Amino acid sequence: MTHDIDFTGVFPAMCTPFDADERIDFETLQTDAQRLEAAGVDGLVPVGSTGESATLTHDEHVRVVEAVIDAVDDVPVIAGTGSNNTREALELSERAADAGADGLLLISPYYNKPEQQGFLEHYQTIADAVDVPQIVYNVPSRTGQTIEPDTVVELASHPTIAGYKAAEGDLGVIGEIVERTTEHDFSVLSGDDALTLPLLSVGGSGAISVVANIEPERTVAMVGAALEGDYERARAIHHELGPLMRELFVETNPIPVKEAMEIRGYGPGRLRSPLTRLREENREPLESILHELETADVSRAEVE
């Protein structure tokens, strides 16, 4: 099966902005979506981990997805709809599809730690019921359980399951998944900015990226260069972004990226409880890195 979306390129994992009362700031959200689209990204991913989805109600999930869809012109919107409850994930997926989402990103069930058969049945149930391309998201550092390569390969044969977001941090495992899914219309996307370039070198398709919220043009240029085989240019941009990639994970995501958004003037750094603001000792290094990027030899104009 050929999917309607080309899951190739850069897909920022969007932040969800909040006001002083922790209510969603929809105006800032839509402005941010338009900024990212104008920067040339290939799609947008609201209400994922970076979007603090675990703190949102079901109605807020849908309203965020609708707001992003309404804000942009041409880029596909891939909605985060995962849960540790299959029925809940199915409901979120159906509502996002009804709202007009072009694709779905489903984090693996967390906390209750299903076995591999549980992962299979979870994803197959949703894929059978919702006819929208879906991406399986594996991030064992958050969920407590990993999806094994054999499970991913079996899921790749489902006509509605279009890809895999790899955030297990093991390039050997991710490379194996790329190798074993080539016969399917199946994209393997980086879920770890520091591994995006290495993953592209072994056949990955792109990234669902945190750093792209702050440096979308550079991230698009890096991924585009790698996909075109220009690894010298891709490496130069990767090394330029490296300090920011690392600093964005000095505390729990999305704490640092929301602080960076505020420093750059893209939105408030507020988070929804129980997440707290970036510690003061980490703000100064972040500010320094952002300043260095603004004055770096490889300017935005050169990477567009």
**Are 189 and 164 contacting, i.e. CB atoms less than 8 angstroms apart?**
yes
Residue 79 pairs with which residues in a beta bridge?
104
Q: Which amino acid is at 63?
A: R
Question: For residues 251 and 256, what is the distance between their CA atoms, to the nearest angstrom?
Answer: 6
Question: For residues 225 and 219, what is the distance between their CA atoms, to the nearest angstrom?
Answer: 10
From start to end of 81-193, where are the E strands? Answer: 103-107, 134-138, 161-166, 187-190
Question: For residues 191 and 13, what is the distance between their CA atoms, to the nearest angstrom?
Answer: 9
Pairing type for strands 103-107 and 9-12 reads: unpaired
Residue 165 pairs with which residues in a beta bridge?
137, 189
Q: Is 50 annotated as a binding residue?
A: yes
Q: Which amino acid is at 191?
A: G
Q: Tokens 């072009």 sit at which residue?
A: 102
Question: For residues 2 and 160, what is the distance between their CA atoms, to the nearest angstrom?
Answer: 9
Q: Is 208 annotated as a binding residue?
A: yes
Give the single-character DSSP code of 187: E
Question: For residues 242 and 272, what is the distance between their CA atoms, to the nearest angstrom?
Answer: 28
Strand order in the sheet with 134-138: 9-12, 206-209, 187-190, 161-166, 134-138, 103-107, 78-80
* Half-sphere exposure for 241 (CA within 13 Å, toward CB): 30
Out of 123, 137, 164, 266, the active site residue is 137
Please confirm, yes or no, whether 137 is among the known catalytic residues: yes
Question: For residues 268 and 260, what is the distance between their CA atoms, to the nearest angstrom?
Answer: 9
Out of 111, 123, 164, 165, the active site residue is 165
Please confirm, yes or no, whether 258 is among the known catalytic residues: no
Q: Indicate the annotated binding residues.
A: 50, 208
The binding site for pyruvate comprises 50, 208
Catalytic residue ranges: 137, 165
